[in-house]
A and B are shown apart, each in its own frame.
Chain A
């Protein structure tokens, strides 16, 4: 792979909060234009990784480059080339949907903020709600506005930290659709999730974070070989994340 094909490169990433060791040596690469999913249970350290990549948090050690820029020495360049949709929908609830988008467009110093806002409102099915305060939005609408705000800057790389957690199934499917469209237009998507199903729906490549390390990464097909077989009870039951960890850790030990 050449430099341009790698959107994110993480080598030996370590991070502790006071005396809690959260990341003990994380390595992975994300290819430009792909959807990369970081799968891990609650508290695994997914948000910590996203914050390091988005220059919100400094790592203790390890080499991290985003779009070719080192996060520690070139944070401004990194910020210029990314967008973050954090774990909680970071919309201004007092402002309307339109005002939220115009605000972000102004901060990106774009030419015609109202036009940018209108286009995104339409694309995300928020035109009817555009002039209502975001506090009146449903969870799904809020998340859509949140993602729309992240697309204002037309960044080539977007981080989505658990974009569907807490959404009802219908809203979740809408967010999946948005993510697929994004990737279709060439944007690199870095996604974190707790749901195996989401990974199956979206991701080109997957990394599983467990106990501070990436315990396995690859394409879905490659990973499936490691998964425990689906149990046939009355219905076919997906293995849980925990069962997958156990199976993978078990297989590694056998080797």
Chain B
């Protein structure tokens, strides 16, 4: 029916408003996605920073990209959790029995993930500026950074969606967060990979987060990004498409069979 299509965006706005409230009313979420990354940044810069040989004179500049990815990675466990509780409590069933677009409920969660990360990333960058972060990057570079962060967020969000839609327990839904938390830690987010033992270094240099971190770092420092940016985009886009496919399959399985 036509009405359903006409109302798609207003329905999405309702869904978005609803899950943004979930985030803003959960102290736990706010701490994990914003305060924790900021605390990590303070720790690394003011406690460990003196001892780390990053090869740049401003360690905040080196650290910020990794901190932003950690903030995004920390947020996706909550995406799984929110999706899982909607399925479990019958809220999706309520929405699906109403005359609204079937996909609005799911896309509402995806958009919420994007918007909430935009907010926490903005806050973290603000704190970084206060701590001495400076960037000579122009508008185009900043837009590229925004694009890559959005792509990274969507990729992790769709992975989280698979878990949230197909898990049979809360723990199962949130378990997806752990491997994702780990990736930024074993990358060049905090220290250059050349300081790592060879096995770890091989992993760190070839996993997606390193290419993403280094692309963002180069863009923010106004240095040539080379092929890194394409490796980063290929990783994200590839994983996202696969994750999207499986998430949609899980979603369809949940709704009208």
Contact = CB atoms under 8 A, between A and B. Distances in A.
Interface of A: 51, 54-58, 75-77, 79-80, 82-84, 86-95, 99, 103-104, 106-109, 149, 153
Nearest to B254: A56
A106 B97 contact: no
A80 B21 contact: no
30 contacts: A51-B93, A54-B97, A55-B256, A56-B96, A56-B97, A56-B255, A57-B256, A57-B257, A76-B4, A76-B99, A77-B1, A79-B97, A80-B99, A83-B97, A86-B94, A87-B90, A88-B89, A89-B90, A90-B90, A90-B91, A90-B94, A92-B91, A94-B21, A103-B17, A104-B98, A106-B14, A107-B11, A107-B95, A107-B98, A149-B94
A86 B26 CA distance: 27
Interface string B88-116: 01110111111110000000000000000
Contact of B100 (A89, A92, A94, A107): A107
A79 B93 contact: no
Interface string B1-37: 1011001001100100110011001100000000000
Return the 7 tightest CB-CB contacts between A and B, nearest first.
A90-B90, A84-B97, A76-B1, A90-B94, A86-B90, A79-B99, A80-B99
Contacts of B93: 51, 56, 84, 86, 90
Query: What band does the interface of chain B fall in when counting residues whose beta carbon is under 8 Å from A?
Result: 20 to 34
Given A56-B255, A86-B94, A103-B17, 15 more contacts: A56-B96, A75-B256, A76-B99, A79-B97, A80-B1, A80-B99, A86-B90, A91-B89, A92-B18, A94-B21, A94-B22, A94-B25, A107-B98, A108-B98, A109-B3
